[in-house]
Homo-oligomer: A and B are copies of this chain.
Amino acid sequence: MRHPLLLATTALFLSAPAIAEEGMWLPGQTPALGDTLKQAGLEISPADLGDLTTAPLNAIVSLGGCSASFVSPEGLVATNHHCVYGSIQYNSKPGQDYLTDGFLAKTNADEVQAAPGSRIYVIEDLRDVTAAMTKGVTSKLDGLDRYNRLEANRKSLIAACEKQANRRCDVRPYFGGQTYFLQQQLEIKDVRLVYAPAGGIGNFGGETDNWQWPRHTGDFGFYRAYVAPDGSSAPYSASNVPYKPKSWLKIADKPLEDGDFVMVAGFPGVTQRHWTAAEVRHNFEQVYAIDQQLRADYSTAIEKAVGGNKDAEIKYASILKGSDNYKKKLLGEIAGADAIDLLGRKDKADADFRAWVAADPARTAQYGQALADLDALVSESNQARVDSLRLATLNRAQLLTAAQTLYRWAMEREKPDAQREPGFQDRDRLSIRERLTQVERRFDAGVDKVLFQQALGEYAKVSADKRNAPLEAKIASTGVDRLYADTQLGDTAQRLAWMDKPASEFDASTDPFIQLAVAAYPGLKTAEDKAKERAGRMQAARSQVMAGQLAFAKAEGRTLYPDANGSLRFTYGKVTGKQRDGLIWTPFTTAEGLVAKQTGRGEFDAPDAAISKLKARDFGTYADAKLGTLPVNYLSTVDITNGNSGSATLNARGEFVGLAFDGTLDGVVSDWSYDAAINRTIHVDSRFMLWTMEKIDGAQRLLTEMGVGN
């Protein structure tokens, strides 16, 4: 579970019956779950769980792609090791290998800047803005007008919101656009790395253990949020001071046990639980087959192209790792879909809903047309998805992507800010600049060229009406070799310089990649308008069908939760292992298991000090009386996905008992359908975190700050 938000998509539909322990609930839905939560073991007030102005919810933060939480009054933030990995890497250099050795700031002054672009988003408000979003959105509008109207409403809501000081705002669709929420966050820009254990703890087991149980990974690390002395958000400055959060999580001092209630609040990225049966079928039978092939070709091409070039190997290592991890997840999803008969489940749910609609003329009048529209749109979209998949391979060529981003940025800047495409407004300048800068750390011209050529092969398979004739002509007339020989975009300073140039300079440029971007632009715009037009119609059909699904669920006494969309969600469950024929997973792993896995090499190389103390059973106050040893990781039924990485795990009293950091490969199909018999989340136990901090790394300063042992 290393890659937050792997699948970019929008929220869609289909009935997923809400059963105990399933659900990525909106904060506003939690009070209604009160009785269930109490029965499940919750000891604090269910109403508090829905309140963004109080603990524990206002101690939960987003890192953009990962989740995290405040664990001290001084802005200390706990999250996963793999969520602060980039910042550890950023601060490492020859002779100062924090990735291997770990990092601990002895004082606040020793805390180092996180990787460029690191942010901590503190949620300030979340409110239903459906009325404002759908203002003027009538059934008379055609698809494109409808899309544009929704976008205009969205942008104006965001602009109004961001007039407040220190706010970052967004509006996301829920239930396929049946509802919209405006989320307001304080964006903290001065993020510092405080502490990360050695790689042999934080990433113990590496790729071998990734997605696996039993697990023994100390996947945790700490940031601190800094703000200007007046409390406002500000970029890094030596004079900045630690941010004082409104709340922070108390570290549990009672042991967590098998069967205990646990809950997680965080920012799950994307799920597809409400997709229609036809969409799911097309995805598994068509899209994933092609996606697997494209991924395999991608990895093979990179491996071949970097072969023997150490510098290129390093630059592409994380891209390759990400691609391989994604392939692994795809395989898991496909096997998991088979195992739970996902298509059968979807067909049944679809049929049940349609039967319910058909059984009543009023319902048929209300939802029948939308259902028919949606069905037609789904089959229209399915082919578009396959083409998009192939077209997207072009963006593996980082210089083409950079040129297109730059030209789009120039074109959009010709418009007033409010009329620009999302992602190209003034508020996006910094993130575009950071993205364009990052290229230098993962780009090699020779490799990029190979990937570009491979992408052209895929491009040739795309339906003729989806191709871009001027782009093709320009590539053909220039030739791939000259593209790379003559471009200046490989140089970061040159690349960034284009950020301030007007579109006319692009049009006149002789840089071949800039010329490609200019040539491609009209075609891309046309394709984009077509996609928007379809998205407009899709929103109309899907939001109405989803309204039907909500009514159907209500009639059956079920409560639906929306698909994950990167917004704050709450999920609960219990600590528990699982049983399969011939196999039992027990809920906790322990010190003994870590020691047994230790080889002292490669992925199983915990520090000697850790191994010898574990062997000596020097567990301090952190051993579990029932287990008779130090717990390391545990399993629960909480319902999470990518984006939840780093989420604090809370016990029945709302206290911190660890961090969610992974799922298991046989459970990744949960993005499509959750099954409490199959799906398990893996957490690092807070006791293992605290033990490492006290016994191995001497992080007493942080323990004291967190109120541990006080």
Contact: A215 with B582, CB < 8 Å?
Answer: yes
For A339, A582, A593, which residue has the most chain B Cβ atoms within 10 angstroms?
A582
A589 CB-CB contact with B under 8 Å:
yes
Contact: B581 with A213, CB < 8 Å?
Answer: no
User: Which one of A190-198, A420-428, A597-605 is at the interface?
Assistant: A597-605
- Measured CB to CB, the closest approach of chain B to A628, in angstroms, equals 12
Partner of A583 from B338, B585, B594 at Cβ < 8 Å: B585
Interface residues on A, range: 20 to 34
A654 CB-CB contact with B under 8 Å:
no
- B-facing mask of A585-597, CB < 8 A → 1, else 0? 1101110111011
A580 CB-CB contact with B under 8 Å:
yes
Partner of A213 from B583, B594, B633 at Cβ < 8 Å: B583
Partner of A584 from B583, B597, B601 at Cβ < 8 Å: B583
Name A206-252 residues within 8 Å CB distance of B: 213-216
Contact: B214 with A583, CB < 8 Å?
Answer: yes
Question: Chain copies in the assembly?
Answer: 2
For A214, A581, A596, which residue has the most chain B Cβ atoms within 10 angstroms?
A581
Contact: A592 with B596, CB < 8 Å?
Answer: no
Contacts of A216 in B (CB 8 A): 581
Contacts of A597 in B (CB 8 A): 339
Smallest Cβ-Cβ distance to A577: which chain B residue? B582
Question: Complex formed: what's the CA distance from A270 to B207 in Å?
Answer: 32
Name A113-169 residues within 8 Å CB distance of B: none
Contacts of A582 in B (CB 8 A): 213-215, 585-586, 588-590, 593, 633
Name A489-520 residues within 8 Å CB distance of B: none
Smallest Cβ-Cβ distance to A633: which chain B residue? B582
Contact: A339 with B596, CB < 8 Å?
Answer: yes
Question: Complex formed: what's the CA distance from A586 to B577 in Å?
Answer: 14
Known A338-B604, A604-B338; contact A596-B583, beta-carbon cutoff 8 A: no
Question: Complex formed: what's the CA distance from A478 to B586 in Å?
Answer: 65
Smallest Cβ-Cβ distance to A635: which chain B residue? B582
Smallest Cβ-Cβ distance to A583: which chain B residue? B214
Contacts of A339 in B (CB 8 A): 596-597, 599
Name A579-638 residues within 8 Å CB distance of B: 580-586, 588-590, 592-594, 596-597, 599, 601, 604, 633
Smallest Cβ-Cβ distance to A579: which chain B residue? B586
Question: Complex formed: what's the CA distance from A216 to B583 in Å?
Answer: 12
Contact: B586 with A583, CB < 8 Å?
Answer: yes
- Measured CB to CB, the closest approach of chain B to A316, in angstroms, equals 19
Smallest Cβ-Cβ distance to A589: which chain B residue? B582
Question: Complex formed: what's the CA distance from A589 to B583 in Å?
Answer: 9
Partner of A581 from B583, B590, B604 at Cβ < 8 Å: B590
Contact: A214 with B584, CB < 8 Å?
Answer: no
- Measured CB to CB, the closest approach of chain B to A50, in angstroms, equals 34
Name A546-593 residues within 8 Å CB distance of B: 580-586, 588-590, 592-593
Contact: A584 with B581, CB < 8 Å?
Answer: no
Contact: A581 with B593, CB < 8 Å?
Answer: yes
Contact: B592 with A581, CB < 8 Å?
Answer: yes
Contacts of A588 in B (CB 8 A): 582
Further pairs besides A214-B583, A338-B604: 20, Cβ < 8 Å: A214-B581, A214-B582, A338-B599, A338-B601, A339-B596, A339-B597, A580-B593, A580-B596, A581-B589, A581-B590, A581-B592, A581-B593, A581-B594, A582-B586, A582-B590, A582-B593, A582-B633, A583-B585, A583-B586, A584-B585
27 examples of A-B residue contacts, CB within 8 angstroms: A214-B580, A214-B582, A214-B583, A215-B582, A216-B581, A338-B601, A338-B604, A339-B596, A339-B599, A580-B593, A580-B596, A581-B589, A581-B593, A581-B594, A581-B596, A582-B586, A582-B588, A582-B589, A582-B590, A582-B593, A582-B633, A583-B583, A583-B584, A583-B585, A583-B586, A584-B584, A584-B586
| Minimum-distance CB pairs A-B, first 5 | A581-B593, A214-B582, A338-B599, A582-B589, A584-B584
